[in-house]
């Protein structure tokens, strides 16, 4: 349950404001690939795909976005601020004792944040449970999206979730893997093949191409969970 | 006698029919027994296969979506193996859940150490906001399950094939005085009541009985210890020895007291056999308990 309610802003911003919003947290005007690898994916989800309303962050019919890769959440907070979920005034406090904006997000402290994350390998399994729950509640409309990193797939918990979701055809589940080639041992045969072998629908797109991302996120995938691999520049 | 596990399955099956918010999550354990319920409620009886991390994460996700999940398997695979999921996907997400284990500490004695987890309660005790029930009889297990299903909290229901021959009155969450004496106080948890009653027969001791060990009824323990000639307290827990020592010490912090904490030892026995043999090996059979308790009381 969300217990705190940091003042929402009624003002919303566009894509071009995201670097300025991130600067309020990082102090840097320029952000390297590590800080921005998820930025376009997050922006496209919140701008074009997700049915979410900052005025009603707990509406039962909302889409659920579960940020699994909770490390480096500046892009996430910037997008939430741009879309009116959190007040821009909170951003400079990033990481402070009294700030609801930690270096890993906490759902209890922030409206619109569906899960607390940080430890890798939890978002996708939680998303499986959430998708099953929406199905059991006869809520066919809300979709569940989760964002994971390619290195995060090293965690075995993901593979319990990938195999199970594919086996039961969890159609309302969507996973986006932001692939910056950071997995230490890589993925033989590619990430998409790993999911496809377990019965997922898969798309691989340029992780900075907004139109391609939006099309991939909304592509039909009847009877199967859906994977989008968003390829970005390799982590230096 | 019907086991706690059988009663749990029958009761949960009934509750699934009447409470549309309830869901049962399994990992290939007890799935045959839940088959009739699964046929009626395919979306609310979910078997994830032999995937215990997913078992807990799915319970967390179901709770996030607004259901009341009951996750069930043997205790080593419910608490120890997916402990980070219990910590993060349930506790840190601040969602409600009912975890129901069946197997106690050494119910599966012949299976060896892999199927034993006497540390389960101590592990959960490191996390925030868990109510921990240790029933001593199938009737108590049923009452505690019904209560847990109707609330929103995080509840661990620890079932065992070891049971007392008769149920006590409906569990209240408080420690109940089963016997009153003057020489000291013994707290018996769940299935340890019968061995404790046998062990202390003829001794002037107050015997308290707990089916709910968290929250810990400090007041009842303090009251009993204060009423006795000496604040000599013995804990008899059917899981890791000392699991509740700190709670008892806190409860008695305002008075000189002595504390003996009996339970399952962490020693690797490397023995198979029966639960009764394991109870004796850990000094938890009536004869050993009597010897240890009388030696402590002097």
Buried b (16+ CB within 10 A) or exposed e, A126-164: bbbbbbbbbbbbeeeebbbbbbbbbbbbbbebbbbbbbb
How far is the C-alpha of B88 from the C-alpha of B100, rounded, in Å? 18
According to the model, what pLDDT value does residue A8 have? Answer: 52
Instruction: List, in order, residues 6 or more apart from B141 with CB less than 8 Å away.
Output: B4, B7, B8, B135, B157, B159
- Å between A108 CA and nearest CA of chain B: 7
Tokens of A57: 């962050």
Give me the interface pTM, i.e. the ipTM: 0.96
In angstroms, the CA A43 to CA B272 distance is: 58
- Note the pLDDT of residue A10: 58
User: What is residue A12's predicted lDDT score, i.e. its pLDDT?
Assistant: 83
Q: Quick one: tokens of A137?
A: 């509640």
Q: What is the pLDDT of residue A26?
A: 85
pLDDT digits (tens, 9 = 90+) for A146-185: 999 999 999 999 999 999 999 999 999 999 999 999 999 9
For position B226, what pLDDT does the model report? 97
Could you give the CA distance from residue B42 to residue B36 in angstroms, rounded to a whole number? 10
Which residues of chain A are within 8 Å of residue B92 when distances are taken between CB atoms?
Answer: 116
Q: What residues in A contact B67, CB-CB < 8 Å?
A: 133, 136-137
pLDDT range class, residue A72, cuts 50, 70, 90: confident
Quote the CA–CA distance of B94 and B87 in Å, as a whole number. Answer: 10
Given a cut of 50, the residues of chain B with pLDDT beneath it are none
pLDDT class for A1, splitting at 50, 70, 90? Answer: very low
Q: What's phi and psi for A205, nearest 5 deg?
A: -140, 165
* A4: pLDDT strictly greater than 60: no
Across the range A87-111, mean pLDDT stands at 96
- pLDDT tens-digit readout, B2-51: 999 999 999 999 999 999 999 999 999 999 999 999 999 999 999 999 99
At the fourth CATH level, the homologous superfamily of domain A34-70+109-231 is: Thiamin diphosphate (ThDP)-binding fold, Pyr/PP domains (3.40.50.970)
Q: Which residues of A touch B85 (CB under 8 A)?
A: 122, 125, 157
pLDDT at A3: 42
Which DSSP string do the residues of A5-35 spell out, in sequence order?
A: -PPPPS----GGGHHHHHHHHH--SS--HHH
| Cβ-based neighbours of A150, under 8 Å, separated by 6 or more | A177, A178, A179, A180, A181, A182, A183, A187, A191
Q: What is the pTM of this model?
A: 0.96
CB pair distance less than 8 Å for A125 and B23: no
Average pLDDT on A28-53 reads: 91
Q: Suggest the residue from B65, B69, B84 to mutate for an interface test with chain A (most A CBs closer than 10 A).
A: B65
Task: State the smallest CA–CA distance between residue B128 and chain A in angstroms.
Answer: 14
Q: Is the pLDDT of residue A31 over 90?
A: no
Chain B nearest C-alpha distance from A27 (Å):
30
Instruction: Nearest by CB to B62, from A60, A114, A133: name it.
Output: A133
Tokens matching residue A46? 């919140």
Residue A2 has pLDDT above 60, yes or no: no
Kindly identify which residue of chain B lies nearest to residue A125, measuring between CA atoms.
Answer: B57
Residue A9 pLDDT greater than 70, yes or no: no
Task: Using CB atoms, pick whichever of A119, A133, A135 lies closest to residue B84.
Answer: A119
**Per-window interface: B 93-152 vs A, CB < 8 A:** 93-94
Which domains, ranges and CATH numbers included, belong to chain B? 4-159 (3.40.50.970), 176-297 (3.40.50.920)
| B46 closest CB neighbour out of A64, A126, A132 | A132
Domain ranges within chain A, ordered by starting residue: 34-70+109-231
């Amino acid at each position: 349950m969300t217990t705190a309610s940091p003042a929402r802003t009624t003002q919303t911003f566009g894509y071009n404001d995201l670097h300025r919003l991130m600067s309020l947290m990082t102090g840097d005007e320029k952000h390297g690939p590590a800080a921005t690898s998820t930025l376009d994916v997050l922006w496209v989800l919140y701008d074009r795909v997700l049915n979410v309303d900052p005025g009603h962050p707990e509406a039962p019919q909302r889409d659920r976005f579960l940020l699994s890769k909770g490390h480096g959440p500046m892009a996430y907070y910037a997008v939430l601020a741009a879309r009116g979920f959190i007040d821009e005034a909170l951003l400079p406090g990033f990481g402070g004792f009294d700030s609801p904006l930690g270096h890993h997000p906490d759902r209890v402290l922030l409206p619109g944040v569906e899960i607390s994350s940080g430890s890798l390998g939890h978002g996708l399994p939680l998303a499986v449970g959430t998708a099953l729950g929406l199905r059991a509640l006869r809520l066919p409309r809300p979709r569940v999206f989760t964002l994971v990193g390619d290195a995060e797939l090293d965690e075995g918990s993901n593979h319990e979730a990938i195999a199970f979701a594919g086996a039961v055809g969890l159609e309302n589940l969507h996973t986006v893997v932001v692939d910056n080639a950071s997995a230490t041992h890589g993925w033989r045969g590619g990430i998409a093949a790993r999911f496809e072998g377990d019965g997922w629908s898969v798309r691989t797109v340029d992780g900075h191409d907004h139109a391609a991302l939006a099309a991939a996120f909304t592509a039909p995938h009847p009877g199967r969970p859906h994977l989008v691999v968003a390829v970005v520049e390799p982590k230096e | 006698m019907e086991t706690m596990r059988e009663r749990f399955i029958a009761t949960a099956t009934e509750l699934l029919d009447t409470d549309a918010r309830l869901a049962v999550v399994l990992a290939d354990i007890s799935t045959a027994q839940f088959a009739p319920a699964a046929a009626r409620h395919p979306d609310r009886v979910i078997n994830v296969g032999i995937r215990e991390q997913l078992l807990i994460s799915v319970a967390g996700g179901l709770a996030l979506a607004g259901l009341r999940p009951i996750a069930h398997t043997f205790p080593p695979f419910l608490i120890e193996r997916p402990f980070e999921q219990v910590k993060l996907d349930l506790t840190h997400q601040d969602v409600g859940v009912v975890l129901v284990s069946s197997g106690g500490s050494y119910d599966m004695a012949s299976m060896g150490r892999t199927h034993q987890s006497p540390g389960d309660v101590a592990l959960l005790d490191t996390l925030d906001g868990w109510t921990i029930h240790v029933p001593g009889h199938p009737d108590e297990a049923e009452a505690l399950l019904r209560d847990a299903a109707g609330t929103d909290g995080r509840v661990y229901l620890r079932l065992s094939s070891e049971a007392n021959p008769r149920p006590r009155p409906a569990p209240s969450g408080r420690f109940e005085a089963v016997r009153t004496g003057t020489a000291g106080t013994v707290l018996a948890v769940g299935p340890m009541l019968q061995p404790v009653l046998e062990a202390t027969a003829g001794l002037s001791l107050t015997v308290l009985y707990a089916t709910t060990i968290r929250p810990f009824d400090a007041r009842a323990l303090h009251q009993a210890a204060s009423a006795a000639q000496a604040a000599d307290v013995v804990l008899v827990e059917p899981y890791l020895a000392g699991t509740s020592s700190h709670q008892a010490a806190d409860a008695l912090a305002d008075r000189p007291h002595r504390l003996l904490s009996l339970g399952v030892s962490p020693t690797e026995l490397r023995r198979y056999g029966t639960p009764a043999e394991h109870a004796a090996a850990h000094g938890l059979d009536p004869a050993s308990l009597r010897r240890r308790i009388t030696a402590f009381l002097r």
